[in-house]
A = this chain, B = another copy of it.
């Protein structure tokens, strides 16, 4: 079975986000009333797995091994079975 997975990796609170901060300053310069900007990354993954549980287990492993740094990143994901 094939699954479509959306993984969002974002910085843990307290870690500085220079890209978000630069974006916020650029928006303020353009006169937009912006209070905060945080940037995160989304991985859209198409993955083969035997069941939703198997897919969830694999994705969790993938996040811990490759996509997220456990020191500074949080991650969350949602998955959907493809017909």
Contacts and interface: CB of A to CB of B under 8 A. Distances in A.
Interface string A7-33: 010100000000010010011001011
A42 B43 contact: no
Interface residues of A, number: 31
Interface in A35-72: 35-49, 58, 62, 65-67
- Integer count of this chain's copies in the complex: 2
Contacts of A81: none
A43 B36 CA distance: 10
Contact of A43 (B20, B35, B58, B62): B20
Interface of A: 2, 8, 10, 20, 23, 26-27, 30, 32-49, 58, 62, 65-67
